[in-house]
Amino acid sequence: MKNKSNLISKGGLFTGLSVIFLYLSFILPTNKLGFLILTSALIILTIKTIGFTGGLLSYISTGVLSLIIGLKSISLAYVSLFGLYPIIKYKVEGLRNIFLEILLKLLFLNLSLFLNYYIYKSLFMDINLMNMDLLNKLPIPLIIIFIQGVFLLMDYILTLIIQFINEKLKFL
């Protein structure tokens, strides 16, 4: 049985690192997606080291803290997709059916995109895709297909991170 203070300290460390990565993605003009993927990897690492409940608590704590310090748009992306996805991934991959897993993961992505779009549009402003003229001229279905491809790539990267954790970071 693991020491409770050890579990709490690891959870606090992973939560603190996640908030730092979210803050960096908020203030830096580049690598926003990279830092958001790192927060997803930290949730996976938290689940692997202190358990599912610890990972869930770290996700909730990170979301609340990011909202408190004022990271509005990044917090929304974290709470609805990048922080929640590793938890969904952990549960869905327990099904051991690759086609059902991919279907459920894409369903989660599309629901998250739908909710993000309407929440962001109603709370903040009209959606202008990051002031990129090229993206604003493309049809929405093409953009959605592209996003799903990027999402599947992110899922693969997270799978590689899980394999790395299982093979190399056994000491945690």
Give 10-residue mean pLDDT values along the chain (172 residues).
83 95 91 90 92 94 94 87 93 92 94 83 60 64 88 93 84 64
Cα-based distances in Å from 33 to 106, 129, 154: 18, 15, 10
pTM for this entry: 0.83
The secondary structure of 79-100 as a DSSP string is IIIITHHHHHHHHHGGG--HHH
Q: Under a CB-based contact definition with an 8 Å cutoff, are residues 87 and 55 in contact?
A: yes
**Separation of alpha carbons 2 and 162, rounded Å:** 21
Residue 121, pLDDT score? 73
Residue 16, pLDDT score? 95
Q: Under a CB-based contact definition with an 8 Å cutoff, are residues 58 and 15 in contact?
A: yes
Q: Under a CB-based contact definition with an 8 Å cutoff, are residues 62 and 22 in contact?
A: yes
Hey, how many other C-beta atoms are within 10 angstroms of the C-beta on 137?
Answer: 8
Hey, how many other C-beta atoms are within 10 angstroms of the C-beta on 118?
Answer: 11
Q: Under a CB-based contact definition with an 8 Å cutoff, are residues 25 and 35 in contact?
A: yes
**Separation of alpha carbons 107 and 133, rounded Å:** 28
